[in-house]
Amino acid sequence: MTIDAIDRRIIAATQAGLPVTAEPYVEIAGQLGLDVEVLMARMRAMQERGVIRRIALAPNHYALGMTANGMSVWDVQDDRATELGAQVGALDFVSHCYLRPRAEGWPYNLFAMVHGSSRDEVEAKRAVISDLLGPACRAKDILYSTRILKKTGLRIRGEG
Amino acid sequence: MRRAPLPPDALDAVDRKILNALQDGFPIAPHPFAVAAEQLGLEEKDLIARIRHLRELGAITRFGPFFDAAAMGGAFCLCAMEVPEAEFERVMTLVNAHPEVAHNYERTHRLNMWFVLAAETLEGITQSADAIERETGMCVHRFPKLEEFFIGFRVPA
Protein backbone atom coordinates (compact mmCIF):
# COMPACT_ATOMS: atom_id res chain seq x y z
CA MET A 1 0.00 0.00 0.00
CA THR A 2 2.06 2.91 -1.25
CA ILE A 3 1.30 6.55 -1.84
CA ASP A 4 3.07 8.88 -4.24
CA ALA A 5 3.97 12.56 -3.84
CA ILE A 6 0.60 13.80 -5.12
CA ASP A 7 -1.33 11.48 -2.78
CA ARG A 8 0.85 12.71 0.05
CA ARG A 9 -0.05 16.33 -0.73
CA ILE A 10 -3.73 15.38 -0.83
CA ILE A 11 -3.40 13.72 2.58
CA ALA A 12 -1.61 16.75 4.01
CA ALA A 13 -4.32 19.07 2.66
CA THR A 14 -7.26 17.02 3.99
CA GLN A 15 -6.01 15.43 7.21
CA ALA A 16 -7.40 18.26 9.34
CA GLY A 17 -10.76 17.79 7.61
CA LEU A 18 -12.75 18.87 4.56
CA PRO A 19 -14.04 22.45 4.26
CA VAL A 20 -17.76 22.59 5.06
CA THR A 21 -18.65 24.51 1.92
CA ALA A 22 -20.71 23.58 -1.13
CA GLU A 23 -17.69 22.40 -3.17
CA PRO A 24 -15.07 21.08 -0.70
CA TYR A 25 -13.19 18.98 -3.28
CA VAL A 26 -13.07 21.87 -5.75
CA GLU A 27 -11.60 24.01 -2.98
CA ILE A 28 -8.92 21.43 -2.05
CA ALA A 29 -8.08 20.86 -5.73
CA GLY A 30 -7.63 24.62 -6.15
CA GLN A 31 -5.24 24.77 -3.19
CA LEU A 32 -3.17 21.94 -4.67
CA GLY A 33 -3.30 23.14 -8.28
CA LEU A 34 -5.02 19.92 -9.36
CA ASP A 35 -8.04 19.35 -11.56
CA VAL A 36 -11.00 18.42 -9.33
CA GLU A 37 -11.62 15.25 -11.37
CA VAL A 38 -8.01 14.17 -10.75
CA LEU A 39 -8.35 14.90 -7.04
CA MET A 40 -11.61 12.94 -6.75
CA ALA A 41 -10.21 10.01 -8.76
CA ARG A 42 -7.15 9.85 -6.51
CA MET A 43 -9.25 10.00 -3.36
CA ARG A 44 -11.50 7.20 -4.68
CA ALA A 45 -8.39 5.14 -5.50
CA MET A 46 -6.94 5.72 -2.02
CA GLN A 47 -10.26 4.63 -0.55
CA GLU A 48 -10.18 1.43 -2.62
CA ARG A 49 -6.62 0.69 -1.48
CA GLY A 50 -7.52 1.31 2.16
CA VAL A 51 -5.24 4.35 2.56
CA ILE A 52 -8.46 6.29 3.20
CA ARG A 53 -10.55 4.12 5.49
CA ARG A 54 -13.64 6.23 5.04
CA ILE A 55 -14.74 9.80 4.46
CA ALA A 56 -17.18 10.62 7.20
CA LEU A 57 -18.31 12.73 10.07
CA ALA A 58 -16.94 11.63 13.45
CA PRO A 59 -19.39 12.46 16.21
CA ASN A 60 -17.82 13.57 19.48
CA HIS A 61 -18.80 10.56 21.56
CA TYR A 62 -18.23 12.48 24.80
CA ALA A 63 -20.65 15.24 23.71
CA LEU A 64 -23.22 12.56 22.82
CA GLY A 65 -23.02 11.04 26.27
CA MET A 66 -20.54 8.18 25.73
CA THR A 67 -18.26 9.41 28.48
CA ALA A 68 -17.01 6.08 29.83
CA ASN A 69 -14.44 3.97 28.06
CA GLY A 70 -12.17 1.13 29.02
CA MET A 71 -9.38 -0.80 27.35
CA SER A 72 -10.59 -4.38 27.69
CA VAL A 73 -7.87 -7.00 27.35
CA TRP A 74 -8.24 -10.73 26.80
CA ASP A 75 -6.06 -13.81 26.76
CA VAL A 76 -7.49 -15.62 23.75
CA GLN A 77 -6.32 -19.02 22.55
CA ASP A 78 -3.88 -18.35 19.68
CA ASP A 79 -5.57 -20.61 17.14
CA ARG A 80 -8.88 -18.77 17.61
CA ALA A 81 -7.56 -15.22 18.07
CA THR A 82 -7.90 -13.95 14.48
CA GLU A 83 -11.41 -15.32 14.01
CA LEU A 84 -12.68 -14.08 17.39
CA GLY A 85 -10.85 -10.74 17.14
CA ALA A 86 -12.72 -10.01 13.90
CA GLN A 87 -16.05 -10.70 15.65
CA VAL A 88 -15.16 -8.43 18.58
CA GLY A 89 -14.04 -5.59 16.26
CA ALA A 90 -17.36 -5.74 14.41
CA LEU A 91 -19.34 -4.94 17.61
CA ASP A 92 -20.77 -1.41 17.41
CA PHE A 93 -19.40 -0.36 20.82
CA VAL A 94 -15.76 -1.33 20.11
CA SER A 95 -13.70 1.51 18.61
CA HIS A 96 -10.29 -0.16 18.32
CA CYS A 97 -9.46 -3.85 18.22
CA TYR A 98 -5.98 -5.34 17.90
CA LEU A 99 -3.94 -8.47 18.49
CA ARG A 100 -0.70 -7.64 20.30
CA PRO A 101 2.13 -9.71 21.76
CA ARG A 102 1.90 -10.99 25.32
CA ALA A 103 4.58 -9.98 27.84
CA GLU A 104 5.88 -11.25 31.15
CA GLY A 105 3.11 -10.74 33.70
CA TRP A 106 0.79 -9.72 30.84
CA PRO A 107 -1.07 -12.75 29.42
CA TYR A 108 -3.42 -10.71 27.19
CA ASN A 109 -3.19 -10.74 23.38
CA LEU A 110 -6.53 -9.17 22.32
CA PHE A 111 -7.15 -5.46 23.03
CA ALA A 112 -10.61 -3.94 22.49
CA MET A 113 -11.57 -0.36 23.41
CA VAL A 114 -15.14 -0.37 24.77
CA HIS A 115 -17.33 2.76 24.98
CA GLY A 116 -20.54 3.47 26.89
CA SER A 117 -22.45 6.14 28.78
CA SER A 118 -21.33 4.82 32.18
CA ARG A 119 -18.93 2.29 33.65
CA ASP A 120 -21.92 0.01 34.29
CA GLU A 121 -22.74 0.12 30.59
CA VAL A 122 -19.10 -0.54 29.68
CA GLU A 123 -19.14 -3.53 32.05
CA ALA A 124 -22.35 -4.83 30.45
CA LYS A 125 -20.75 -4.56 27.02
CA ARG A 126 -17.62 -6.23 28.29
CA ALA A 127 -19.83 -9.14 29.39
CA VAL A 128 -21.10 -9.38 25.79
CA ILE A 129 -17.49 -9.78 24.60
CA SER A 130 -16.83 -12.33 27.32
CA ASP A 131 -19.82 -14.42 26.18
CA LEU A 132 -18.71 -14.12 22.55
CA LEU A 133 -15.18 -15.36 23.36
CA GLY A 134 -16.46 -18.22 25.54
CA PRO A 135 -13.98 -20.88 26.68
CA ALA A 136 -11.35 -19.67 24.14
CA CYS A 137 -10.69 -16.83 26.60
CA ARG A 138 -8.53 -17.81 29.58
CA ALA A 139 -8.10 -14.48 31.39
CA LYS A 140 -9.45 -10.95 31.09
CA ASP A 141 -9.12 -7.48 32.56
CA ILE A 142 -10.18 -3.91 31.84
CA LEU A 143 -8.14 -0.74 32.24
CA TYR A 144 -10.04 2.50 32.66
CA SER A 145 -8.32 5.75 31.79
CA THR A 146 -8.19 8.11 34.75
CA ARG A 147 -6.30 10.97 33.12
CA ILE A 148 -5.15 12.09 29.68
CA LEU A 149 -1.46 12.87 30.13
CA LYS A 150 -0.78 13.94 26.52
CA LYS A 151 -2.73 14.01 23.28
CA THR A 152 -1.45 15.21 19.92
CA GLY A 153 -2.73 14.35 16.47
CA LEU A 154 -0.75 12.25 14.03
CA ARG A 155 0.34 14.45 11.17
CA ILE A 156 2.36 13.97 8.02
CA ARG A 157 4.19 16.61 6.07
CA GLY A 158 3.17 17.49 2.54
CA GLU A 159 6.60 16.99 0.99
CA GLY A 160 8.86 13.99 0.66
CA MET B 1 -12.18 18.86 22.30
CA ARG B 2 -15.37 18.97 24.35
CA ARG B 3 -15.43 16.09 26.85
CA ALA B 4 -18.70 16.88 28.64
CA PRO B 5 -22.10 15.71 27.36
CA LEU B 6 -24.24 18.31 25.59
CA PRO B 7 -27.50 19.34 27.28
CA PRO B 8 -30.29 16.98 26.16
CA ASP B 9 -32.07 19.69 24.14
CA ALA B 10 -28.92 20.82 22.27
CA LEU B 11 -29.70 18.57 19.30
CA ASP B 12 -32.97 18.12 17.47
CA ALA B 13 -34.16 15.12 15.45
CA VAL B 14 -32.63 16.43 12.21
CA ASP B 15 -29.24 16.95 13.89
CA ARG B 16 -29.35 13.37 15.18
CA LYS B 17 -30.33 12.04 11.76
CA ILE B 18 -27.32 13.84 10.23
CA LEU B 19 -24.93 12.54 12.90
CA ASN B 20 -26.21 9.00 12.48
CA ALA B 21 -26.14 9.01 8.67
CA LEU B 22 -22.85 10.77 7.94
CA GLN B 23 -20.72 8.68 10.31
CA ASP B 24 -21.20 5.84 7.82
CA GLY B 25 -19.79 7.80 4.91
CA PHE B 26 -19.74 10.96 2.84
CA PRO B 27 -19.66 11.04 -0.98
CA ILE B 28 -16.86 12.11 -3.29
CA ALA B 29 -18.63 14.35 -5.80
CA PRO B 30 -18.40 17.95 -7.04
CA HIS B 31 -21.39 18.87 -4.79
CA PRO B 32 -21.19 16.19 -2.08
CA PHE B 33 -23.48 17.99 0.37
CA ALA B 34 -26.19 18.10 -2.28
CA VAL B 35 -25.87 14.31 -2.74
CA ALA B 36 -25.90 13.66 1.03
CA ALA B 37 -28.73 16.16 1.61
CA GLU B 38 -30.97 14.49 -0.94
CA GLN B 39 -30.62 11.14 0.87
CA LEU B 40 -31.57 12.87 4.13
CA GLY B 41 -34.47 14.81 2.63
CA LEU B 42 -32.74 18.14 3.25
CA GLU B 43 -31.59 21.08 1.16
CA GLU B 44 -27.84 21.35 0.45
CA LYS B 45 -27.52 24.73 2.19
CA ASP B 46 -29.40 23.50 5.26
CA LEU B 47 -27.13 20.47 5.62
CA ILE B 48 -24.04 22.69 5.37
CA ALA B 49 -25.45 25.09 7.98
CA ARG B 50 -26.37 22.20 10.29
CA ILE B 51 -22.90 20.64 10.08
CA ARG B 52 -21.26 23.99 10.80
CA HIS B 53 -23.54 24.42 13.79
CA LEU B 54 -22.81 20.88 15.07
CA ARG B 55 -19.11 21.61 14.76
CA GLU B 56 -19.48 24.85 16.75
CA LEU B 57 -21.43 22.98 19.44
CA GLY B 58 -18.60 20.45 19.73
CA ALA B 59 -20.83 17.57 18.61
CA ILE B 60 -18.36 16.68 15.82
CA THR B 61 -14.67 15.93 16.31
CA ARG B 62 -13.73 15.45 12.66
CA PHE B 63 -15.28 15.73 9.26
CA GLY B 64 -13.37 14.38 6.30
CA PRO B 65 -11.14 11.47 5.29
CA PHE B 66 -9.86 9.03 7.90
CA PHE B 67 -6.47 7.70 6.90
CA ASP B 68 -4.75 4.44 7.72
CA ALA B 69 -1.78 5.87 9.61
CA ALA B 70 0.46 2.95 8.66
CA ALA B 71 -0.39 3.35 4.95
CA MET B 72 0.79 6.95 5.18
CA GLY B 73 4.22 5.70 6.17
CA GLY B 74 5.55 5.56 9.68
CA ALA B 75 5.66 3.19 12.59
CA PHE B 76 3.56 3.02 15.73
CA CYS B 77 3.77 1.14 18.99
CA LEU B 78 1.62 0.99 22.10
CA CYS B 79 3.84 1.04 25.20
CA ALA B 80 3.18 0.62 28.91
CA MET B 81 5.10 1.33 32.09
CA GLU B 82 4.67 0.44 35.75
CA VAL B 83 5.34 3.75 37.48
CA PRO B 84 5.35 4.05 41.29
CA GLU B 85 2.82 6.67 42.45
CA ALA B 86 5.50 8.86 44.06
CA GLU B 87 7.42 9.09 40.77
CA PHE B 88 4.46 9.44 38.45
CA GLU B 89 4.70 13.17 37.72
CA ARG B 90 8.46 13.03 37.17
CA VAL B 91 8.19 10.08 34.77
CA MET B 92 5.23 11.64 32.96
CA THR B 93 7.27 14.78 32.29
CA LEU B 94 10.19 12.74 30.93
CA VAL B 95 7.94 10.59 28.73
CA ASN B 96 5.81 13.47 27.36
CA ALA B 97 8.94 15.44 26.43
CA HIS B 98 9.58 12.94 23.59
CA PRO B 99 7.95 14.21 20.38
CA GLU B 100 7.37 10.56 19.39
CA VAL B 101 4.85 10.22 22.25
CA ALA B 102 1.57 10.89 20.44
CA HIS B 103 -0.77 10.29 23.34
CA ASN B 104 -0.40 9.14 26.88
CA TYR B 105 -3.03 7.93 29.36
CA GLU B 106 -3.00 7.10 33.04
CA ARG B 107 -4.86 3.81 33.54
CA THR B 108 -6.15 1.70 36.41
CA HIS B 109 -3.64 -1.16 36.48
CA ARG B 110 -0.21 -2.14 37.78
CA LEU B 111 0.89 -0.96 34.30
CA ASN B 112 -0.48 2.53 34.91
CA MET B 113 1.03 4.62 32.09
CA TRP B 114 0.07 3.77 28.49
CA PHE B 115 1.31 5.74 25.51
CA VAL B 116 1.63 5.44 21.74
CA LEU B 117 4.97 6.07 20.06
CA ALA B 118 4.83 7.32 16.48
CA ALA B 119 8.00 7.60 14.39
CA GLU B 120 9.08 7.54 10.77
CA THR B 121 10.65 4.10 11.14
CA LEU B 122 10.71 1.06 13.41
CA GLU B 123 14.23 2.06 14.50
CA GLY B 124 12.82 5.41 15.60
CA ILE B 125 10.37 3.57 17.88
CA THR B 126 13.13 1.44 19.39
CA GLN B 127 15.36 4.48 19.95
CA SER B 128 12.60 6.44 21.72
CA ALA B 129 11.56 3.51 23.91
CA ASP B 130 15.19 2.78 24.82
CA ALA B 131 15.80 6.46 25.60
CA ILE B 132 12.76 6.55 27.91
CA GLU B 133 14.08 3.45 29.71
CA ARG B 134 17.50 5.11 30.20
CA GLU B 135 16.01 8.40 31.40
CA THR B 136 13.53 6.85 33.83
CA GLY B 137 15.36 3.68 34.81
CA MET B 138 12.10 1.80 34.22
CA CYS B 139 11.01 -0.86 31.73
CA VAL B 140 8.99 0.24 28.69
CA HIS B 141 6.80 -2.73 27.71
CA ARG B 142 6.15 -2.70 23.98
CA PHE B 143 2.92 -3.92 22.43
CA PRO B 144 3.13 -3.38 18.65
CA LYS B 145 0.00 -4.37 16.76
CA LEU B 146 0.20 -7.82 15.17
CA GLU B 147 -3.22 -7.64 13.58
CA GLU B 148 -5.88 -4.95 13.35
CA PHE B 149 -9.55 -5.76 12.96
CA PHE B 150 -12.18 -3.91 10.98
CA ILE B 151 -14.19 -1.72 13.31
CA GLY B 152 -17.98 -1.55 13.40
CA PHE B 153 -18.01 1.32 15.94
CA ARG B 154 -20.96 3.69 15.77
CA VAL B 155 -21.99 6.47 18.12
CA PRO B 156 -25.78 6.45 18.46
CA ALA B 157 -26.97 10.07 18.26
Distance CA B50, CA B54 (A): 6
Q: pLDDT of A23-60, one tens digit each?
A: 999 999 999 999 999 999 999 999 999 899 999 999 99
* pLDDT of A154 higher than 60: no
CB contact under 8 A, B71 and A147: no
Instruction: Name the pLDDT band for A76 (thresholds 50, 70, 90).
Output: very high
Among B residues 20-49, those touching chain A with beta carbons less than 8 Å apart: 22-34, 44-45, 48
For A101, the closest of B1, B105, B146 (CB atoms) is: B146
Instruction: Name the pLDDT band for A160 (thresholds 50, 70, 90).
Output: very low
User: Helix, strand, or coil here: A69?
Assistant: strand
Question: How many C-beta atoms surround the C-beta of residue A148 within 10 A?
Answer: 12
Assigned CATH topology for domain B1-66: Arc Repressor Mutant, subunit A (1.10.10)
Question: How many C-beta atoms surround the C-beta of residue A79 within 10 A?
Answer: 8
Instruction: Name the pLDDT band for B152 (thresholds 50, 70, 90).
Output: confident
If DSSP states are collapsed to H, E and C, what string results for chain B? Answer: CCCCCCCCCCCCHHHHHHHHHHCCCCCCCCCHHHHHHHHHCCCHHHHHHHHHHHHHHCCEEEEEEEECCCCCCCEEEEEEECCCHHHHHHHHHHHHCCCCEEEEEEECCCCCEEEEEEECCHHHHHHHHHHHHHHHCCCCEEECCCEECCCCCCCCC
Res A153: pLDDT: 57
**Least confident piece of the model among A12-16, B42-46, B57-61, B65-69:** B65-69
- Give percent of chain B above pLDDT 70: 100
Distance CA B24, CA B153 (A): 10
The mean per-residue pLDDT over the stretch B100-115 comes to 95
Is B6:A64 a contact under the CB 8 Å cutoff? yes
Distance CA A43, CA A52 (A): 8
Question: Which residue out of A119, A150, A156 would a mutagenesis test of the B interface target, given it has the greatest number of B Cβ atoms within 10 Å?
Answer: A150
Chain A touched by B67 (CB under 8 Å): yes
Instruction: Name the pLDDT band for B3 (thresholds 50, 70, 90).
Output: confident
The mean per-residue pLDDT over the stretch B66-83 comes to 87
Res B63: pLDDT: 95
Is A25:A36 a contact under the CB 8 Å cutoff? yes
How crowded is the C-beta side of A93, counted as CA atoms within 13 Å?
A: 21
Give the closest residue to A22 by CA, choosing from B150, B99, B35, B56: B35
- Per DSSP, what are the bridge partners of residue B65? A55
Mean pLDDT over the full length of chain B: 93
Q: pLDDT of A106-144, one tens digit each?
A: 999 999 999 999 999 999 999 999 999 999 999 999 999
CB contact under 8 A, A150 and B96: yes
Give the closest residue to B91 by CA, choosing from B76, B109, B106: B106
CA dihedral B8, B14, B19, B25 (to 10 degrees): 170
Q: Given this chain, do its domains B1-66 and B75-143 carry the same CATH topology?
A: no
Which residues from B are below 8 Å from A98, CB to CB? 145-149
Is A51:A8 a contact under the CB 8 Å cutoff? no
Mean pLDDT over the full length of chain A: 92
Distance CA A51, CA A54 (A): 9
CB contact under 8 A, B23 and A20: no
Structural domains of chain A ordered from first start: 5-49 (1.10.10), 68-144 (3.30.70.3460)
CB contact under 8 A, A71 and B6: no
* pLDDT of B120 higher than 90: no
The CATH classification of domain B75-143, taken from the options 3.30.565.10, 3.30.70.3460, 3.30.360.10, 3.60.150.10:
3.30.70.3460
- For chain B, domain boundaries: 1-66, 75-143
Res A1: pLDDT: 55
Q: What is the DSSP letter of A134?
A: G
DSSP run (H or E) holding A115:
strand A110-116
Instruction: Name the pLDDT band for B154 (thresholds 50, 70, 90).
Output: confident
* pLDDT of A156 higher than 80: no
CB contact under 8 A, A85 and B150: no
Res A67: pLDDT: 86
Q: Which of A89-93, B43-47, B72-76 has the highest mean pLDDT?
A: B43-47
Res B1: pLDDT: 75
The mean per-residue pLDDT over the stretch B51-70 comes to 91
Give the closest residue to A9 by CA, choosing from B46, B72, B118: B72
